[in-house]
Structure 1
Amino acid sequence: MLEAILGTSEVYTNRPEPGGALSKQARSFKSSLKSEDYVVKALPPVLKLRDLTAMFIVILFFITNVSSAVAGGPAGLTYWIVGALFFFIPCCLATAQLGVMFPHEGSLYSWTHKAFGRYGSFFVTFCAWIPCTILILATSDLAVSYIQGLNPNWLTEPWQQGMALLLIICFSAVVSLQRQKMIQNMVNLVVFLILTAVALVFISGLVWLAGGHKSATDFSQLSSWAITWSPWWNPFTGAGNFGLFGTITLGYLGVNLPLNMAGEIAPGNKRKAIIQHLIWGMVIVVTSYLLVTYAVLVVEGQNAAYALFAMVSTVDTALGRVAGNVTALCILATFVVATVVYNYIFARFLMVASIDQRIPKGVARLNRNRAPTGAILFQTIVSCTFVLLFFMVIPYLHVLGTKPADVANEVYFVVVGVATLMWAFATCFLFINILRLYAQDRETFRSHAIVSVPLQLLSAVIGLVVGFLAILDTLFNSYIPPLIPNGQWFLVVGLLTFILLILGALGSMLASGEAAWQSYEETTT
């Protein structure tokens, strides 16, 4: 069902219903932004509940995260549940509350502006946007890894992998520049494919047991489900399985991203679409992680730890090679489309910042399909530059190691670690914004609360504490201990993250000053 072709001169009306939450909130908290009004006029309101849910699943459910959880045995299932209860659900609750109060394009950008003003909003958005190019690279790299899994003789050299990455990233840019309705049809189809992969993996576990095979993992020992560390007063030493806490908990990052396009939700009951896509998405994501982790533990056991192809090998073992190939193709398609989703979703951060005069106005330029061309092309160029550096230049300089592949891995995982910390830091502002907005105007907050206020505040505090612990755990535990020991990881990743935070703070000062000056000029001319 494609909509009519969108012309460049069309103005779309997607304004909130009279007397809705938007108008009330704009008067109660910080002043409104230009982007709030511009987006609903310039971009087509095509997103529905189904579309938001599909984006949520593609962003939040990375089936390869299961390979990390498997390393903990049954405790991996415990970590998924603990992370969901104490981080994922608080993230969803905070996002729902903020989204209902301020259903504007840019999500965290707009919400932080209401709570902290222009400086805080730009700084937090900078931290939230920084992971964008790395995520585009990472999803492309996962797609390349699955291509290699289909044939180990393919793409063996870093430069070959780099060429494949460039093709996938450029493809994501081309697709992201098309009509949103067409893109969304592709995303919705891919959700069907990834859920098919989940079903095949889970059925593999059941068939394995039904065939009389013994489970590769003993689920009967309660101790194997426990979260452990040593010594008792320091969970960040790497002893026990607590090192998985940060990796698994931060696998739930990205809850707010579908609402980066809140200004493009179809007219009608926005509140219902915002709340229900979070509920459905949360249930599907958590259930999928649990089912796939269980099945891999049953068939492969902890031998599948950190093996990206573990899900496919599970299906191969239980259902045969044909079913395994179908699973691999479903997962591969998901990674390619996830690259597209990250590209156009994060482009909304740049678009609204440009509209509000925080960055050059050319970044917000729209094409005839009403896609933010400047933002998407900028992200694509930066991502391609990283590919050239990480896979085609640095590995062959012979300054960081002996094997080009090892050097590529070291640089890549350090950058991924830094991006994860920045993203987690920005996500914590979901909870900080809730607490700040409540402190600013308690009566208005209460009148628009979607759950009891004490529950919302308690959830925000719990989510903030758990998010901080996950950040520390990620900082103290290397993603690749054989190549980068924990101590070296802490220094390198910690220092780079600190430098980026400083740059973000300085950039926010400049952006806020420029926006204030342009606003002054407009009012005096």
Structure 2
Amino acid sequence: MRERIPTLTSENYVRRVLPPVLTNFDFTMSFMMVMFFVSNPVGTIASGAVSLLYWGIGALIFFIPCVLVVAQLCAWFPVNGSSYNWTHKALGGFWSLFAAVTFWIPGVVAMVSAASIGITIVQSINPHLLVEPWQQGLAVIAILIFACLISLQPLRTFQHVVNFVTPLTYAVVLLLGIAAVVWLLGGHSSATPLLNPATWAITPDNFKLFGIVVLAYLGADVPVIVLGEAKQPEKGYRHFLWGTLAVLGAYFILTMALLVVIGPEAATLSNASILIALERLFGPVVARIAAACLLVFFPLFVALTGSLFARLLMTISADRRLPIGLVRLNKHRVPVNAILTQTAIAIGFTLLLYFVPYVFSMAESANLALEVQVITLSVLVLIWAVSSAFLFISLLVLMKRYPELLKKGLIVPKWLLQTCCYVALIACAVAIVNTLAYNQLAPLINDMMWRVFVGSLTVVCLFVAYFGCVFATTEAAWQDKIHEVESGF
């Protein structure tokens, strides 16, 4: 007898209670916002032209395979929950919840990290603002609260804002590309010797770039968490084509522009290098407008990430895997309890990062914002790499266990999907080792402290995920038991 593909209560529940308001264009814009961070290329510039090579390698062995795998899973199962739902169908039970929690934790980390990157943009405009760690922490909390209020609005209204702000961010990147062309046509030589073969050499000194690149390419399955709220969920995977081209183009254009106009010095200038490049070519007014566009991006990114991952919590709760209170909706049909709970956890994480250092006399460091940003992003790489592995494992298991899925239609040949899974799994493992092995904060902290901070935070998060799954499952089962008992009276 042929084994049936398991279904979850949330698949029908979400479609009943949440309005289908999203279009393919909406998913494209969300994908472009989630997958592109202007700060990521800045961290690779110090290594010179080889950074472009790493962006290409990362795209070839991780990003494109990941996109193809997620698109195939979306085509087969166009429902809310993305990796949580797919892992349940492939591995079932405990592992689906564990995959979901390890998927959700990086979402919270990304919210805090994006807010901290927004602070560095502010500091690049005015170095005298938000100097003290406690000020930075309060600013991050303010961004989180603001993002929470935005994400509590109707999804259609919120998506309109995303659709407006995302093109503005990419317009800044396009303007940087134009700046590089104008710079060269104006008779200036490239700040980086792009024609020197030595600058393209992959060496142990630049291996750390792979971790940065993988981080940038993580998250293709985030926008499709809400695929069940699409007007045409069965066509929801079609946004990947244009979204992928836009993201790849943005990373290559931004990296090339900074290499040409600023050079390796851009790494020391951090995010200010983007504004400096524009100011050199187009003047301070254009640079300030670009800065305003970037400043708007980060709070909205926090709101979008929070909205998506809160719906993941709601989906899991609908399946009685988390306390049922997380499914509560406000008058706009938005999961209010899930959003508030998630925001509270993000604020708690912020307090831990920005205020605990005072206890250990670390708050005097003028680089605390940068250190927090890099460490949290590195932890995000490790946990998200673990979570992403479930995508590839799930697809391999589904293809083997349910051969009838192959008859439903493949977006690419089976052999290519299998190759993508194996290559991406190897890339995840390499990214984990790479992130721990190469200190991205040298010489601010030594290698041992780097491994202690990043490794211990990652282990703590994974332990919390594991025992949180056990506790949440037990709590949900207990609530069901209480309900049964009360119903009997």
User: Fold-level match, TM-score > 0.5?
Assistant: yes
- In the other structure, the counterpart of 2:109 is 134
Aligned equivalent of 1:429, options 362, 375, 390: 390
Aligned equivalent of 1:266, options 218, 231, 240: 231
- 1:310 aligned onto 2:254: no
| 1-structure distance, mates of 2:251, 2:365 | 34
Q: What is the deviation of 1:81?
A: 0.8
Aligned equivalent of 1:202, options 177, 188, 195: 177
| 2-structure distance, mates of 1:487, 1:446 | 52
| 2-structure distance, mates of 1:411, 1:211 | 39
Q: 1:155 to 1:501 in 2, by over 3 A?
A: closer
| 1-structure distance, mates of 2:33, 2:164 | 11
- 1:256 aligned onto 2:217: no
- In the other structure, the counterpart of 2:123 is 148
- In the other structure, the counterpart of 1:22 is none
Amino acid at match of 2:172: A
- 1:298 aligned onto 2:252: no
Amino acid at match of 2:347: C
| 2-structure distance, mates of 1:507, 1:386 | 16
Q: 1:329 to 1:28 in 2, by over 3 A?
A: farther
Aligned equivalent of 2:46, options 66, 71, 79: 71
- 1:47 aligned onto 2:22: yes
- In the other structure, the counterpart of 2:248 is 286
Q: What is the deviation of 1:492?
A: 3.5
1:29·1:114 contact (CA, 8 Å) conserved in 2?
no
* Alignment of structure 1 residues 115-194 onto 2, 5 Å: 115-194=90-169
Q: What is the deviation of 1:509?
A: 3.5
Unpaired stretches in structure 1, ≥5 consecutive residues: 1-26, 230-239
Instruction: Report the secondary structure of 2:277's partner residue.
Output: helix
- In the other structure, the counterpart of 1:370 is 333
| 1-structure distance, mates of 2:449, 2:436 | 10
Amino acid at match of 1:478: N
2:69·2:421 contact (CA, 8 Å) conserved in 1?
yes
Q: What is the deviation of 1:408?
A: 5.9
- 1:89 aligned onto 2:52: no
Instruction: Report the secondary structure of 2:265's partner residue.
Output: helix
- In the other structure, the counterpart of 2:287 is 324
- In the other structure, the counterpart of 1:214 is 189
- In the other structure, the counterpart of 1:23 is none
- In the other structure, the counterpart of 1:396 is 358
Provide, for residues 485-505 of structure 1, a one-character-per-residue CA deviation record: whole Å limited to 9, x for no partner.
Answer: 223322342233234323323
Amino acid at match of 1:280: W
Q: What is the deviation of 1:438?
A: 1.6
Q: What is the deviation of 1:385?
A: 2.0
1:395·1:407 contact (CA, 8 Å) conserved in 2?
no
- In the other structure, the counterpart of 2:405 is 444
- In the other structure, the counterpart of 1:416 is 377
Aligned equivalent of 2:433, options 460, 465, 472: 472
| 2-structure distance, mates of 1:446, 1:291 | 40
Give me the TM-score of the superposition, normalised by structure 2: 0.94
Amino acid at match of 2:445: I
Which 10-residue stretch deviates more, 375-384 or 27-36?
27-36
Q: 1:103 to 1:273 in 2, by over 3 A?
A: closer
| 2-structure distance, mates of 1:180, 1:495 | 37
Provide, for residues 209-267 of structure 1, a one-character-per-residue CA deviation record: whole Å limited to 9, x for no partner.
Answer: 111111101111223223222xxxxxxxxxx2111111112210110011100110003
Aligned equivalent of 1:348, options 282, 286, 311: 311
Provide, for residues 125-166 of structure 1, a one-character-per-residue CA deviation record: whole Å limited to 9, x for no partner.
Answer: 111111222211111112222122221222211222222222
- In the other structure, the counterpart of 1:277 is 239
| 1-structure distance, mates of 2:395, 2:361 | 44
2:47·2:206 contact (CA, 8 Å) conserved in 1?
yes
Which 10-residue stretch deviates more, 345-354 or 503-512?
503-512
Instruction: Report the secondary structure of 2:44's partner residue.
Output: helix
| 1-structure distance, mates of 2:223, 2:29 | 9
| 1-structure distance, mates of 2:361, 2:34 | 33
Amino acid at match of 1:327: A
Q: What is the deviation of 1:28?
A: 5.9
Q: 1:406 to 1:145 in 2, by over 3 A?
A: closer
- 1:246 aligned onto 2:207: no
Give me the TM-score of the superposition, normalised by structure 1: 0.87
- 1:502 aligned onto 2:467: no
Instruction: Report the secondary structure of 1:261's partner residue.
Output: helix
| 2-structure distance, mates of 1:499, 1:142 | 24
Instruction: Report the secondary structure of 1:130's partner residue.
Output: helix
Amino acid at match of 1:497: T
How many pairs were matched up? 484
Q: 1:92 to 1:474 in 2, by over 3 A?
A: same
2:120·2:369 contact (CA, 8 Å) conserved in 1?
no
| 2-structure distance, mates of 1:142, 1:198 | 17
Q: What is the deviation of 1:319?
A: 1.5
Which 10-residue stretch deviates more, 43-52 or 514-523?
514-523
2:258·2:273 contact (CA, 8 Å) conserved in 1?
yes
2:76·2:405 contact (CA, 8 Å) conserved in 1?
no
| 1-structure distance, mates of 2:211, 2:112 | 21
* Alignment of structure 1 residues 484-499 onto 2, 5 Å: 484-499=445-460
| 1-structure distance, mates of 2:46, 2:3 | 49
- 1:457 aligned onto 2:422: no
1:446·1:453 contact (CA, 8 Å) conserved in 2?
no
Amino acid at match of 2:262: E
1:200·1:323 contact (CA, 8 Å) conserved in 2?
no
| 1-structure distance, mates of 2:318, 2:262 | 51
Aligned equivalent of 1:98, options 73, 77, 92: 73
